[in-house]
Amino acid sequence: MGLAYYYHLGNYEKAIPLFKQSLSIYEEKLGVNHPYTKGTRDSLKRAEEKLAGSGTR
């Protein structure tokens, strides 16, 4: 399954590592200020906040 699937289901424990992997690739290939990089960073932050708020860690 993919990142969007896990995120949509609220399975942040599986989505977060995929966000981190995507972010690393985007930073390397596109740079830290590219819109895709920024969007992925924001999505990662939201997923981490949702996971922390769910009491699951």
Q: What tens digit of pLDDT does each residue of 8-21 get? A: 999 999 999 999 99
Q: Which stretches within 1-57 are classed as H helix? A: 3-9, 12-30, 35-53
Q: What is the pTM of this model?
A: 0.87
pLDDT of res. 55: 66
pLDDT of res. 1: 82
Span 1-57, pLDDT tens digits: 899 999 999 999 999 999 999 999 999 999 999 999 999 999 999 999 999 998 655
Q: How far apart (Å, rounded) are the C-alpha atoms in residues 46 and 37?
A: 14
